[in-house]
Structure 1
Amino acid sequence: MSLGSKIAWDDTVLPFQLDRSAVRGRVARLDGVLDQVLAQHNYPPEIEALVAEAALLTALIGQAIKLRWKLSMQIRGDGPARLIATDYYAPGEDGAPALIRAYASFDADRLVQGAEPFGQIGQGYFALLIDQGRDMVPYQGITPLAGGSLSACAETYFAQSEQLPTRFALTFGRTRVPGQAEHWRAGGVMLQLMPEASTPSVTEGGSGDDGLLQADDILEGAEAEDWTRANTLLDTVEDMELIGPSVQPTELLVRLFHEEQPRVFDAQPVQFGCTCSEDRVRQSLSIYSAKDIGHMTTDEGIVTADCQFCGAHYELDPATLGFESEKDPDADA
């Protein structure tokens, strides 16, 4: 296999369907995107791992939803890792890349070096917010943190909030390709029972942590058999098959699911990107009074703002900020 054929699948999400059953899925590969996301901050290894897993989940989930604008994922906890936040922006036109950004907020003094990353979050919640754009009411779903990983939390979220059986197999880490510098790579597969499949409505407690629903709680009959069969096949996947780059996603699907008749669709390219701007900063500050803006003003007479996603730094004239602003920000221009 040539190097070019390997690189062609970097930073892509490949949708597929198993024609023998009512199961759809995604195969994701992230490398450059993950390098750029993690390069924005000097994270300790435990936080790097959480951000990498969250970014990979976001790529898989965002591409699986008929999204017109933005999907946001937030994991908040009472442990040293206080917040992991990601955004997935749908492509504006056919063939354009989707954009991903992510960051984490953590308490370095409380972080336990060498400890299992997920345990650094503590007790908290997993949330997805879908924003379909102007004049549309955003949708938000929240479930408690459950399981031993962010992917397990996402599986619980879809079972509990959407009653939609979902499975993730993920791997990520620093790798070195001969002749290249060490860099981050991540790969994963998402399986999901197709929404049009009929699943029973479950209102009672499930078999998961604290009575949360799991996939097995919302399946029965032939659908349960199809789901079990697809998951049993996914259980055989190896980390190097997921992460690549020597195994292409199409080859991986044949290896895993050839008896299930996999059918692939057009791959979606993804790249690191941020939508922050001075106008957005001004808009976020427009709810504050002149007194509030005064408290934000530095000794140098400016208001500063930094984007945690991309590191952009903004310096603004306080007289142009807030709903009591005295000066048009475009006046000097």
Structure 2
Amino acid sequence: MSFGTKLAWDDTVLPFQLDRSDIRGRVARLDGVLDGILKQHDYPPQVEALVAEMALLTALIGQTMKLRWKLSLQVQSKGPVRMIATDFYAPETEDAPARIRAYASYDRDKLTDGAPIEQVGEGYFAILIDQGRGTTPYQGITPLTGESLKSAAEAYFAQSEQLPTRFQLSFGRSTERGGVEHWRAGGIMVQHMPPASPFASGEGGSGVGGLLTADDILDEDEGENWRRVNFHLDTVEEMELIGPQLPPTDLLVRLFHEEGPRVFDALPVRFGCTCSEDRVRQSLSIYSARDIEKMTTDEGIVTADCQFCGAHYELDPATVGFEAEGHGEA
């Protein structure tokens, strides 16, 4: 793929609603966000693709939540890619962007030449919502299913939230004029509003492993609307999702003009990390002086690296841990 300069709708999430179908959605375009996430690590191509997909899902899902602080997505797996973790931080002020960070843990020796999703084995997909100090975090989990991470996310919303949800995603490396290669991604999320007749049976759903599907949740009229919108969504082309020619608003008109699309203010998103020396010190505050001594290098320092952004911290061992100099003084 070859594109020109940065576009106005890059690194944004555009909310929309289909008034005639009782369906809401999001369109996301990521550019600099993915570069910020992926340049911190020397991931193999299969791992890069999984992190890019997870970051795109995080941007789409994060904007749907009424967040005061943080949404986290996690994949835990028994495959070569053991974990993928992402965080979406709500804007700190009305005009500020949301921030996204992500990283993956993997066993390089066990990676195969297969598709990215083949690097993920048996495990689970989780969504965690933390509204900040004084609140109890929420966590929802569903087994990893399907042929992509987006399938796991769709299964999560059907099973844990009883909200039929679909994603269409595209992501990969692009080359601008002049030969500068970077990552770019685009996607659409559609989600039925809470159905009139919520699923109540305890017998399980019709999906893989007894998980719920849209047909289990929606009544006849709702199901007809959902199938019609998904028919139009399935006509979207890769370059419409990721390319520069079509603004998100025009894409929505092309796909859903019969459904009465209505758009809202776009949310800018940026790569951002919340690590700091104070947070490192706080994480080390549970350790004794003997524990800290075991962590001290031959050079006489305690080091820590942020898995998300690669920041490196060097601390005096005498100043960390619950027995540190000055600890507990007024």
Contact 1:16 1:265 in 2 (8 A): yes
Q: Which residue of 2 aligns with 1:104?
A: 104
Q: CA, structure 1 residues 301+202, in 2 after alignment: closer, same or farther (shift >3 Å)?
A: farther
AA matched with 2:276 = S
Q: For residue 5 of structure 1, report the CA deviation from its aligned partner.
A: 9.9
Q: Give the Å deviation of 1:284.
A: 1.1
CA shift in 2, pair 1:249/1:329, >3 Å: farther
**Equivalent residue runs for 1:1-12 within 5 Å:** 7-12=7-12
- Cα distance 1:136–1:214, how it changes in 2: closer, same or farther (>3 A)? same
Aligned-pair CA distance for 1:123: 0.7
Corresponding residue for residue 255 of structure 1: 254
Offset of 1:318 from its aligned partner?
A: 1.6
Aligned to 1:88: 88
Which residue matches 2:65?
65
Q: Which amino acid is the alignment partner of residue 241 of structure 1?
A: E
Aligned to 1:128: 127
Q: Determine if the alignment matches structure 1 residue 239 to structure 2 residue 234.
A: no
Q: Residues 178-257 of structure 1: matches in 2 within 5 Å? A: 178-179=177-178, 181-195=180-194, 198-257=197-256
Matching residue of 1:29: 29
Counterpart of 2:322? Answer: 323
- One-letter amino acid of the structure 1 residue matched with residue 185 of structure 2: A
CA distance in 2, matches of 1:167, 1:189: 8
Whether contact under 8 Å (1:99, 1:270) holds in the other structure is yes
Q: Does the 8 Å CA contact 1:9/1:249 hold for their aligned counterparts?
A: yes
Equivalent position amino acid for 1:187 in 2: G
TM-score, normalised with respect to structure 1:
0.94
One-letter code aligned to 2:214: A
Q: 2:129, 2:272 → 1: CA distance?
A: 18
Give the Cα separation in 2 of the matches to 1:202 and 1:36: 45
Q: C-alpha displacement at 1:198, in angstroms?
A: 4.6
Structure 2 CA distance for aligned equivalents of residues 165 and 74 of structure 1? 20
Please report how far the alpha carbon of residue 328 of structure 1 lies from its aligned counterpart in structure 2 after TM superposition: 5.3
Bigger drift between 214-223 and 307-316 goes to 214-223
Taking the TM superposition and a 5 Å limit, the aligned residue runs for 1:137-152 are 137-152=136-151
Contact residue 195 and residue 217 of structure 2 kept, 8 A: no
Q: Normalising by structure 2, what TM-score?
A: 0.95
Q: CA deviation at 1:249?
A: 0.2
Report the Cα offset of residue 190 of structure 1: 0.3
For the aligned residue pairs, the C-alpha RMSD in angstroms reads 2.0
Partner residue in 1 for 2:48: 48
Q: Distance in 2 between matches of 1:329 and 1:171?
A: 52
User: How far 1:197 moved relative to its partner?
Assistant: 5.0
Per-residue CA deviation, residues 257-278 of structure 1 (Å, 9 max, x unaligned), is 0000000000000000000001
Equivalenced residue count is: 328
The one-letter code matched in structure 1 to 2:186 is G
How big is the shift at 1:179? 4.8
- Mark the runs of 5 or more structure 1 residues left unpaired by the alignment: none
- % identical equivalent positions: 71
- Partners of 1:138 and 1:20 in 2: CA distance: 35
